[in-house]
Each structure stands twice: as structure tokens, then as C-alpha cells.
Structure 1
Amino acid sequence: MLEKLFAYFIRKRNSKFDTGEILPVKCKTPVISVGNLSVGGTGKTPLVIYISNKLSELGNKVAVIGRGYKRKSKGEIVVSDGKNILADVSEAGDEMLLIAEKTCCPVLVHSKKYEAGLSAEKLFNVDYILLDDGFQHRKLSRKCDIVLIDRVSLENPFLLPKGRLRESFDALARADIICLTKGAKIQDLIRKLPKNTKPNLKIFEVNFVQASAYSLFNKNNASPADKKYIAIAGLANPKNFFEMLTNNNYCIIEKINFSDHHNYTKSDILKIINSAKRNNTACIATTEKDAVKLKKYKAEFINNNIDIFVFPLEVIIKGDFISAIKECVSS
């Protein structure tokens, strides 16, 4: 019943854009949207970072805009001007701060993403605006719609609250590029594509593999493979992170889950420290998204002789993905 009610409101909202009742805001600068059909856990943030850096390497100037989910600030915040980080995690949100730290791009957040797009265009002389989590944000016009789909979404194709989908697979009629992540198979996707799929739709397989881990408090320190670890994660789907650690032969003696975008408190830190002491280990394993929120507790961990090791993800894509994006934008 609730799923049908959710579907009704989604259809009603989308029809206002489809019929022109609501007109999207248009930027002069080409907008590239990276989004999901589902709620979280598909690998969107690493892909946004990948696209930003690849476009920058080609000599393009890129700005990244987003909402800054679970940030404590209001209005518009310039997280980075492309040279300096200008906001902390409470002002920027974990994902947008991570994007700012891992790219050389201006990063802006606003609860109305189209306003961030207009500001990015006004404040920075950029060639592309990259819209984070933009598939459902139809208020901002875009030249290229990239959608990530994981295996779980294909196997459990139900709308919220029964499943994880924000929209049905019919929404893929708007997609220009689909990225299959985390075990999603192309044959399973093809069975769910709508009949009015765009004729030039491109499909890519995107894999995420563990890159070199490092100490949060001293990046010159590599993660020791012969130690025991407490693994902590505040993700929509922490199972993938934990499996990556064990598949790379790290000894995980306890796993601690927090909710997605969890804002760590002193009580949480005490829980983690006590777990490490109880298990007689000084090593914590975590994600980059969690690390941007844990670093402010550096003193607490160091005073207890505990180090946090961050396990980043490397994006591997089969095919000429960036050329496909540029072709889509120019068409």
C-alpha cells in the first residue's frame, strides 16, 4: 500500500517536468548529473571523484555541486574554491567534504541544488558542472544523466518503503549513461530497460577495488597486513566494505555498523576505543567517508595508542567512459 502511494507521488511529480508544467533551471555551463535509482550504496561518491579528476587531467575546469546531506549548516556553502578547503564536515557534509579533499575542483553545497549550479557558474570559470546525486533533482537541467545501478537494485526492484528504489526502472528512459556496479549484470539490466530508452544509451561496468590504505593520522604509514582490526563503517551498505577487507586478507575481529552519513559522537568514539582494548588491538579500519568525520577525534585515539587506517577505493571502468560523457554533452 505504501509502495503504491509512493509511486503515485513520484509519477505526479515527474509528469510536471515531462509536460513542461515545471521548467528546469538552465545553466550556460554544461551540467553532468551522477545519480542513483536507489537510496545509497551504489558507489556514487567515488565515481563523482573519478569523473572530476579525469576531466581535470584533460585540462577541463570542473565544479562539483550537491546538497551536503546531513550537514548542520544552512543555505549555500563554498566547501572548496579548488585550491583551499573552506568548510569543515559539519558545514559541508561528509561526501561533499571528501570530494573537496580528493579533487582540485570548486565544491559548493545548497539545499536547492540548482542554486548551487547558478552560483558555481557565477563564482568560478568552469567548463563543466558535476551534479552529485542529481537524477531525481530535475529542477536543474543537465546535458548528461549518468545513473548507477547495483546488483541489489536489480534483484529487489521495488520502490520505497518495500525496496530501495526512489523511482521505477521506467525512469531510465531519462538516462544517457548507465553504470553497473557491485555485481550488477548487463543481461539483468536489459530485461528491465523501458521501451523508450534513449537510442544512444551507453552502458559501462564499474568496479571498485581497494587502493593502498594509509593511517588517518600519518599518511606515510601503510596499513599492516599482519595485525588484527576493528572495522567500522557508517554506510548504506557496509557489507561490501567488510567483504573487501576480508577478501584482501585483513584479519577483522569485530565489525561495528553505524547508519549512513552517521555523525560520530564522543560516546561512539568511546565505544570504538573500548572495542579495540577489549580485542587487544591498536588498529581500526574505516572508509574515507567515515574518516573525514573521525579525524576531529585524533587526540582521543592517539592518547589511547590507537591508529585509524583508511581504506580508499579505486575506480576501474571498462571502455572509454570519459569520451562517452564528453560525446553526450556535445550532442
Structure 2
Amino acid sequence: MPTLLTILLLPFAWLYAGVMRVRNWLYDGNMKGSEQFSVPVLNVGNLRVGGTGKTPHVLWLTRQLLQHGQHPAILSRGYGRQTHGYRLATPSDTAQIIGDEPRQYFQEFAGQVPVAVSEDRCAGIRQLLALSQPPTAVVLDDAYQHRRVRPTLNLLLTEQQRPFYEDYVLPAGLLRESRAGAQRADAVIVTKCDPHLTAAQQQEITRRVRRYALPQVSVFFSTYQYGAPVAVNALQITASQEVVLLTGIANPAPLRAYLQAAGYHVVHHAAFADHHLFSETELGQVAAQLRPGVSVFTTQKDAARLQVPVLQAIVANWPLFYIPIDVQFLADGESRLLALLTPYFQPHAVV
């Protein structure tokens, strides 16, 4: 049931939704132009503001492209960066220059995959295709509302705990556009699922998704698999069971729940907003919580933001670890999704 505040904000949400509806109508009717490209453009996006798990799914999709003989590139807006325009990531680029997620992508693939940022996704794709070794596919990070690009495949992500079909448009809720925007999805992935989600529960969620998406749209369910702590600093240390948790992500609750279930004791949680740029003062406050036998745990995305030289100097001697995240699909979801993706791989295989 909507809260009283949600009800009070609904008139403003209707106004915003109306503006977005007109915008989408103009694109759908070809009265505003959108561009197609010579290689598959695979978009991983969502309807809502905040984290639905795009980053791990972009990583999963890019790994699949590599495993199928492709030469993919990743293009992101580079949210939170202090630069503008197109930029191809280099080893020296920090999160302040390209954004935390692109920095994580670049590190994850060790330069094997070109990672670029551009507010203008069309211009960004053109620049990537002009590289001396152009990509055979482009993975778009969070461009579901960027209608100037006409993606080959639209993957829409929504969280199990806050599905788009129960949410409202800003400011009454967190949706960037109305639920009807799901009609543009070629597939819907319900993320951060309970790994024990039953077949009956999956069927009910699928039914509710298809009230707004196309009736035949494929619906998949994914969950997170957390890995062993990875040391950020070059120190010969092991992670302790008592931890200070440092996060700047939209929803740290699943990570905290995992740590507690895995036997870790979170003695302090320094929680900040998504994409937060940590300050020296804030890190000093975290340092004040440390004592012998206590480690600092963070996410891989947050660790990317700590690599600014002035912050690196502060955390250099911390027992600092990030918790890696992998995507796992429930039941036969991975094989079904690969079957959906495979036609976009084969025509562009690298010999």
C-alpha cells in the first residue's frame, strides 16, 4: 500500500510521468530520431533510480561476449566523474576522471576490454567504432532512458524486493518513467533474488512483470554470489571476523546480510549514498573505528573510488578488503538467457 507521503506526491509524479510519456511517444513515432549501429548494442538498464545490480550484470554479459569469441567494449555515462565528454579509460584514470563503475570495469578486464565514458551515447559508440580494433559488440551501462540510441537488445533489471510494478514515478517513488516503459524490454531480469525463490513465486513475479512488459517477454531471476575477501593493499594480511563496513552504494543491505550470515561481526557501518566521493575527513572517522583484529570491508566499486592518490595515502596501511560479487541465475536462467543472446554473437565472431 502507498504511504501518505507517496499519495501526496502523486500529482507531481503524474506530471513527470506525463512529460516522459510524451518524450517516449515522440521516439516511438520516429518524430525524434534514434540511431542504430553496425554492431550489436546490448543495453543493461532499469526503470528506477538507484542500484538494481547493473554493474555485476554488465560484467556477466561482457564475460559472456568474451567467452563467445567477441571483442566487446563497455560504454557508460560515467556517473559522478569530474570530467565531461568522451574519454577512453586508461590505467592512470581514477574514479574522479571516469566514474567508479567504469574504473571497476577497466580493472576487472585489465585493459582487455575497451571502456569508455560519454554523456552522448551515440557519439561514444561512434568513437568506439573508430578505434583501430573496433568492438564487435557494445555493452551499454544504464542507458534505458537514452532513447537516441536504438539498442539491439534491451535488458531491463528490477529488484525482487522493490520491483518496478510496485513502484511509482519520481518524486512519489523511484521510477524514472512509468511502468509502461517495460514494454521496450526484450528481457527482464529480476535481480538480488532469494536463492531459494520457488517456482511458484517466480511464476507470480513473471505474471506481474508481463502486465506491463510485452506478454511474450522472457523473465529471468538472478542472485548474488559473494566471494572471499580480496586484499586491496599489498599487505600480507588475512581478513578478520570483526569488520568495519564502508559503503557508498544504493542498497548495502544484501551485503551486510551476507556478512552476518557468513559469521562476520560488523562493529561499525560507514554508509554513504550511491557513488559518494569519500573525503579525507570521512576516512579519518572510519580509521578511528579501527583497532587490532578489525578489518575494513568495502565493495569493489567503492574500492575504485579509494584509488585517488590523496585517499590512497590514508588507506594504504589499512587491513582493507573488497567483497567480490558474481551473478548467478536461478534454475535454467543462464542457459535460456544465453540462447537469447547467441544470435547476436555469431555474426560478429572474431577469428
TM-score (structure 2 length as normaliser): 0.85
Shift of 1:276: 1.9
Query: In the comparison of the two structures, how many residue pairs are matched?
Result: 320
Aligned residue identity for 1:188: I
Q: Give 1:112's match in structure 2, choosing from 116, 120, 127.
A: 120
Matches within 5 A, 1:123-202: 123=131, 124-154=133-163, 156-183=166-193, 186=202, 187-194=204-211, 197=214, 199=216, 201-202=217-218
Aligned residue identity for 2:343: E
Q: Give 1:237's match in structure 2, choosing from 244, 251, 254.
A: 251
SS of the counterpart of 1:324? helix
Q: Does 1:314 align with 2:322?
A: no
Other-structure match for 2:20: 10
Other-structure match for 1:73: 83
Other-structure match for 2:299: 287
Other-structure match for 1:253: 267
Shift of 1:26: 1.9
In 2, are the aligned partners of 1:51 and 1:322 still within 8 Å (CA)? no
Q: Does 1:22 align with 2:28?
A: no
Structure 1 spans left out of the alignment, 5+ residues: none
SS of the counterpart of 1:39? coil
Shift of 1:295: 3.2
Q: Does 1:39 align with 2:49?
A: yes
Shift of 1:156: 3.6
Single out whichever of 310-319 and 293-302 deviates more from structure 2.
293-302
Shift of 1:221: 4.9
Other-structure match for 1:122: 130
In the TM superposition, what whole-angstrom CA distance separates every residue of 1:196-234 from its partner, at most 9, and x where no partner exists? Answer: 7063x222111111112111103875533xx31011110
Structure 2 spans left out of the alignment, 5+ residues: 1-10, 195-200
SS of the counterpart of 2:283? helix
Mapped to 2, the partners of 1:194 and 1:327 lie a distance apart of: 27
Other-structure match for 1:207: 223
Shift of 1:330: 7.8
Q: Percent identity?
A: 24
SS of the counterpart of 1:191? helix
Relative to structure 1, the CA distance from residue 254 to residue 18 in structure 2 (aligned partners, 3 Å threshold; closer, same or farther) is: same
Single out whichever of 163-172 and 71-80 deviates more from structure 2.
163-172
Other-structure match for 2:234: 218
Shift of 1:119: 0.9
Shift of 1:86: 5.0
SS of the counterpart of 1:64? strand
In the TM superposition, what whole-angstrom CA distance separates every residue of 1:236-293 from its partner, at most 9, and x where no partner exists? Answer: 112122112112111111111111000111111111101224xx55410100010011
Mapped to 2, the partners of 1:148 and 1:192 lie a distance apart of: 11
Relative to structure 1, the CA distance from residue 195 to residue 158 in structure 2 (aligned partners, 3 Å threshold; closer, same or farther) is: closer
Mapped to 1, the partners of 2:281 and 2:212 lie a distance apart of: 52
Q: Which contiguous aligned blocks of 4+ residues in structure 1 show a shift greater than 4 angstroms? A: 219-222, 328-331
Aligned residue identity for 1:67: R
Relative to structure 1, the CA distance from residue 178 to residue 221 in structure 2 (aligned partners, 3 Å threshold; closer, same or farther) is: farther
SS of the counterpart of 1:97? helix
TM-score (structure 1 length as normaliser): 0.90
Other-structure match for 1:63: 73
Mapped to 2, the partners of 1:170 and 1:46 lie a distance apart of: 25
Shift of 1:193: 2.3
Other-structure match for 1:272: 286
